[in-house]
């Protein structure tokens, strides 16, 4: 499990004063830390409807509580996403303790009678911590949507895992989000499982992930054509539009761009993006570098505010009189008059 290191501020979670400050990963929280978190006033935590969206096409077999000891995580190669940040986990922990679990986790029964978590790894981790801090208070079991072993195959199980994560993390377009989108597209292309007349792969992805078709085309283009060392910089050091334009360049040019010092973070203005897109497919690193570094002057903008009402009236009158002799369209004249009100 990746470590989430930062200072945990309970006040940010709804408490009037900070009750604790710790650095470390969620799994390292002691029962005393958990009790301190749950004793603070809890903010309502917005659970996404991800489980329901992900399992809409494949209904689960039953819903009932399962012992925590029967659960096991999904394979790392199936689960693209790391646990959410420690502060978010603490907020979820506090919310579950105060309001209960709003959405059951989703699991898949295995041959050894254990249950693989398809959606809800974070919720299960919160139940484990709450059970340690409050033994005998009902946290030894967690409500779960259950698929029997024969109800899913590996492709369908992966689809549920990826889709639930994509919906939950729809606002954070990270490299793992983009790669997960590509994997989901590949799963949807599996004729055995998904040739069901639900439309094109693009339309299915748009419906399932609640993203526009144009956004999905952008993600797939970036994932399939951008070198990994550049993809790793998305979105913090490389915007999506910049990544898409670089993805059109030959692989060797991309490599040289990635190795160029002082170029990142890269945010291009519209004129620079236009220059870069014009170089698509061209093996000309120097021209690409010139486009990336070209100074683009902003259009001059002037603004001022006349505070005195009398002076403001005089200025408006002068502008209106000046407009009378200008050969401009009525639309432009009306816009200026409106701005002078």
- What whole-number distance in Å separates Cα of residue 94 and Cα of residue 76? 27
pLDDT of 3: 31
State the fold for domain 10-169: 3.90.1530
57 has pLDDT over 90? no
* pLDDT bucket at 301, cuts 50 / 70 / 90: low
Question: How much is the average pLDDT of 303-326?
Answer: 77
Average pLDDT over every residue of 319-323:
78
pLDDT at residue 212 above 60? Answer: yes
| Beta-strand pair 105-109/115-119 | antiparallel
C-alpha count within 13 angstroms, C-beta hemisphere, residue 240: 14
> How much is the average pLDDT of 322-329?
74
What digits encode the pLDDT tens for the residues 37-51?
888 877 655 554 444
250-264: pLDDT as tens digits: 999 999 999 998 888
3-state secondary structure at position 56: coil
Peptide bond into 212 cis (omega under 30): no
Residue 45 CB neighbours (<10 A): 17
> What does the CA dihedral 129, 131, 134, 135 come to, rounded to 10 degrees?
-150
Mean pLDDT of the chain: 79
Dihedral of the CA atoms 192, 195, 201, 207 (nearest 10)?
A: -110
| φ and ψ of 43, to 5 deg | -85, 140
Residue 327: pLDDT over 80: no
pLDDT at 127 exceeding the cut of 80: yes
- Taking each helix axis from N to C end, the angle separating 213-225 and 240-247, rounded to the nearest 10 degrees, works out to 50
Over residues 21-40, the pLDDT tens digits come to: 333 467 888 899 899 888 88
**Hey, how many other C-beta atoms are within 10 angstroms of the C-beta on 340?**
13
User: Looking at the predicted structure, is the pLDDT value of residue 58 above 50?
Assistant: yes
Q: What is the pLDDT of residue 103?
A: 87
Residue 110 has what DSSP assignment?
-
Would the pLDDT of 140 be above 90? yes
For the chain, percent of residues with pLDDT exceeding 70: 79
* Percent of the chain predicted with pLDDT > 90: 33
The secondary structure of residue 328, as a DSSP letter, is -
Per-residue pLDDT tens digits for 332-341: 777 777 777 6
Closest CA to 146 of 108, 173, 112: 108
Q: Is the peptide bond before 155 cis (omega within 30 degrees of 0)?
A: no
Going by C-alpha positions, the residue among 191, 193, 189, 192 that lies closest to residue 205 is 189
Average pLDDT, integer, range 198-210: 78
- Confidence class for position 227, pLDDT limits 50, 70, 90: very high
Residue 39 CA: distances (Å) to CA of 7, 29, 46, 138, 166: 18, 15, 19, 17, 32
Neighbours of 178 (CB within 10 A): 24
Contact (Cβ atoms closer than 8 angstroms) between residue 265 and residue 292: no
Q: Is 36 helix (H, G, I), strand (E, B) or coil?
A: helix
């Amino acid at each position: 499990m990746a470590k989430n290191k930062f200072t945990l501020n309970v006040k940010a979670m709804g408490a009037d004063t900070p009750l604790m400050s710790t650095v470390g990963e969620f799994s390292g929280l002691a029962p005393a830390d958990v009790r301190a978190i749950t004793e603070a006033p809890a903010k309502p935590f917005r659970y996404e409807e991800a489980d329901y969206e992900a399992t809409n096409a494949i209904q689960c077999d039953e819903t009932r509580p399962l012992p925590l000891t029967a659960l096991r995580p999904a394979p790392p190669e199936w689960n693209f996403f790391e646990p959410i940040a420690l502060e978010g986990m603490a907020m979820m922990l506090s919310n579950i303790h105060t309001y209960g679990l709003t959405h059951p986790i989703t699991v898949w029964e295995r041959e050894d009678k254990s249950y693989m978590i398809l959606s809800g790894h974070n919720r299960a981790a919160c139940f484990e911590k709450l059970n340690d801090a409050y033994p005998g208070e009902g946290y030894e079991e967690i409500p779960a949507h259950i698929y029997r072993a024969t109800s899913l195959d590996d492709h369908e199980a992966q689809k549920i895992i990826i889709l639930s994560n994509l919906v939950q993390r729809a606002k954070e377009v990270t490299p793992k989000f983009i790669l997960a989108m590509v994997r989901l597209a590949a799963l949807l292309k599996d004729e055995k499982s998904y040739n069901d007349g639900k439309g094109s792969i693009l339309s299915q992805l748009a419906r399932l992930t609640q993203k526009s078709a144009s956004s999905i085309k952008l993600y797939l283009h970036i994932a399939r054509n951008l070198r990994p060392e550049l993809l790793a910089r998305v979105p913090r050091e490389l915007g999506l539009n910049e990544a898409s334009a670089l993805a059109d360049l030959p692989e060797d040019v991309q490599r040289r761009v990635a190795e160029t010092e002082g170029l990142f973070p890269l945010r291009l203005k519209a004129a620079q993006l236009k220059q870069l897109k014009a170089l698509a497919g061209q093996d000309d690193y120097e021209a690409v570098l010139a486009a990336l570094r070209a100074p683009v002057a902003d259009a001059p903008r002037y603004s001022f505010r006349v505070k005195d009402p009398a002076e403001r009236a005089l200025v408006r009158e002068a502008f209106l009189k000046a407009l009378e002799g200008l050969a401009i369209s009525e639309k432009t004249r009306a816009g200026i008059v409106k701005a002078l009100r």
